[in-house]
Structure 1
Amino acid sequence: MVYDPLAVGVAIDPEFVKKEEWNVKVVLEGDETGRTVASAEGEPKVQVCTEVKAEQFLNHFLRRLL
């Protein structure tokens, strides 16, 4: 079973996605515990995929299946 083909695709070819560096935090208290939020404050700490070259990725993926 394939759980996340895009994640595997990006490991093979990072050009399948556009990435930006963001400062991302996880809420640790209150009603929103566990929620992930992006913040403009502080240094960017993680790369977040903001766009997918869907047709390019899908063509690559389907070629591997056939």
Structure 2
Amino acid sequence: MTYDALGRMVEQNRSGSYTQIVYGPDGGKLALMNGQTLSKAFVPLSGSATTKLRPFRAWATTTFIF
């Protein structure tokens, strides 16, 4: 695992596959990447809702945090 200067995990190795974690300007998790390929995006919506999107898939989930 690799951490940035703020102590956030920015890369992890699972069985030889490296995943990079991208953070937005507000410090929230924005995306998971495998090299230059997007594997999952976390898109903030209005209020405290977030939707998770995966490329090339026709579904998304929405999470509401109260």
TM over 0.5: no
Point out the structure with the larger helix share: 1
Structure (1 or 2) with the larger CA radius of gyration: 1
Q: Larger relative contact order (C-alpha < 8 A, sep ≥ 6)?
A: 1
The TM tier, using the shorter chain, reads under 0.3
